[in-house]
Structure 1
Amino acid sequence: MPGTSGPGERPLEGLHVVECASFVAGPSGGMALARLGADVLRVDPPGGGGDFHRWPVDDQGTSLYWAGLNKGKRSLALDFRTPEGRELLLALATEPGADSGVYLDNVAGRARLTHEELTARRPDVIHVHIEGAAGGKPAVDYTVNAGVGIPHLTGPADHAAPVNHALPAWDFLCGQYAATGILAALHRRHRTGEGSSLSVALSDVALTALGDLGWLDEAHRTGRPRPRIGNHTYGSFGVDFPTADGHRVIAVALTAGQWKALLAATGTADVFAALEPALDADLSDESDRYRHRETIEAILRPWFAARPYEEVARRLDEARALWGPYRDMAEAVELALADENSVVREMDQPGIGPMATTTCPIRTDGVPTPPMPAPALGADTDAVLSERLGLSHSEIGKLHDAGLVAGPR
Structure 2
Amino acid sequence: MSTVDSRGGAPLGPLHGIRVLELGSFIAGPFAGQLLADYGAEVIKIEPPQAGDPMRRWGITQDGESLWWPAIGRNKKSVTIDLRDERGQRLVRELAASCDVVLENFRPGTMARWGLDYETLRGDNPGIIMVHVSGFGQTGPNSSEAGFGSVAEAVGGIRYTTGSPGDRPARTGISLGDSLASLFAVIGTLAALTERSSSGAGQEVDVAIYEAVFALMESTLADYHAGGVLRRRSGSVLAGVAPSNVYPTADDAEVVIAANADSVFTRLAEAMGRPELARDERYATHQGRGARMAELDALISAWTATRKSGELIEQLREHGVPVGRINTAASILTDPHFAAREMILWRRNGNGTELPMNGVVPKFSRTPGEIDRTGPALGADTDAVLSAVADGERLARLRADGVL
TM-score w.r.t. length of structure 1: 0.87
1:261-276 matches, cutoff 5 A: 261-274=267-280, 276=281
**2:383 paired residue number:** 382
Tell me the CA shift for residue 303 of structure 1.
Answer: 1.1
Secondary structure at the residue paired with 1:51? Answer: helix
Query: Which position in structure 1 is the counterpart of 2:196?
Result: 189
1:219 counterpart (215, 218, 224) = 224
Structure 1: segments with no counterpart, 5+ residues: none
How far has the Cα of 1:208 moved from its partner? 1.7
For residue 338 of structure 1, report the CA deviation from its aligned partner: 8.1
Cα shift at 1:374: 1.8
**Structure 1 pair 334/318, CA: closer, same or farther in 2 (3 Å)?**
closer
User: Cα offset for 1:367?
Assistant: 9.7
Change (3 A) 1:298 1:104: same
**Structure 1 residue 379, shift from structure 2 partner:** 0.7
Distance 1:335 1:366 in 2: 26
8 Å CA contact retained: 1:337, 1:345? no
8 Å Cα contact 1:123-1:194 kept in structure 2: yes
Match in the other structure for 2:57: 53
Tell me which moved more, 287-296 or 377-386: 287-296
Verify the 8 A CA contact 1:153 1:228 in the aligned structure 2.
yes
**Counterpart among 75, 79, 95 of residue 78 in structure 2:** 75
Report the alpha carbon displacement of residue 106 of structure 1 after superposing the two structures with TM.
Answer: 1.0
Say if 1:141 and 1:293 are closer, same or farther in 2 by CA, change over 3 A: same
Q: Distance in 1 between matches of 2:362 and 2:297?
A: 37
Alignment match of 1:144 (pick from 105, 127, 152): 152
CA gap of 1:31–1:186, structure 2 versus 1, over 3 A, is same
Q: Residue 314 of structure 1 aligns with which residue?
A: 314
**C-alpha deviation, 1:223, in angstroms:** 4.9
Q: Which has the higher helix share?
A: 1
Alpha carbons 1:358, 1:371 under 8 Å: kept: no
1:63 corresponding residue in structure 2:
66
Q: Among 177, 185, 207, which residue is 1:170 paired with?
A: 177
Aligned to 1:232: 237
Name the Cα RMSD after superposition.
Answer: 2.5
1:349-364 pair list within 5 angstroms? 349-351=349-351, 353-364=353-364
- The corresponding residue for 2:253 is 247
Query: What letter matches 1:243 in structure 2?
Result: T
How do 1:87-126 residues align onto structure 2 when only pairs under 5 Å count? 87-95=90-98, 100-108=99-107, 109=110, 110-111=113-114, 113-126=116-129
Aligned equivalent of 1:325: 325
Distance in structure 2 (CA, Å) of the matches to 1:4 and 1:361: 24
Contact 1:262 1:322 in 2 (8 A): no
Is structure 2 residue 335 aligned with structure 1 residue 335? Answer: yes
Instruction: Name the structure 1 match of 2:207.
Output: 200
1:111 and 1:337 map into 2 onto residues whose CA distance is 48
Q: How big is the shift at 1:42?
A: 0.8
8 Å contact kept, 2:96–2:125: no
CA distance in 1, matches of 2:322, 2:348: 37
- Cα distance in 1, alignment partners of residues 363 and 35 from structure 2: 13
Checking the alignment, whether the CA contact within 8 Å between 1:337 and 1:344 is kept in structure 2 is no
> How many angstroms does 1:254 deviate by?
4.6
Task: Give the letter aligned to residue 308 of structure 1.
Answer: K
The verdict on how the C-alpha distance between 1:343 and 1:193 changes in structure 2, with shifts beyond 3 A counting, is same
What's 2:266 paired with? 260
Residue 156 of structure 1, aligned match among 160, 164, 167: 164
User: How far apart are 1:64 and its partner, in Å?
Assistant: 1.8
Flag the 1:307–1:367 CA change in 2: closer, same or farther, 3 A: farther
Matched to 1:229, the amino acid is S
Shift of 1:51: 3.0
Over the matched positions of the two proteins, sequence identity in percent amounts to 27
- 1:190, distance to aligned residue in structure 2 (A): 1.9
Q: TM-score, normalised by structure 2?
A: 0.88
Distance 1:348 1:51, change over 3 A: closer
Contact 1:348 1:355 in 2 (8 A): yes
Q: How many residues align?
A: 387
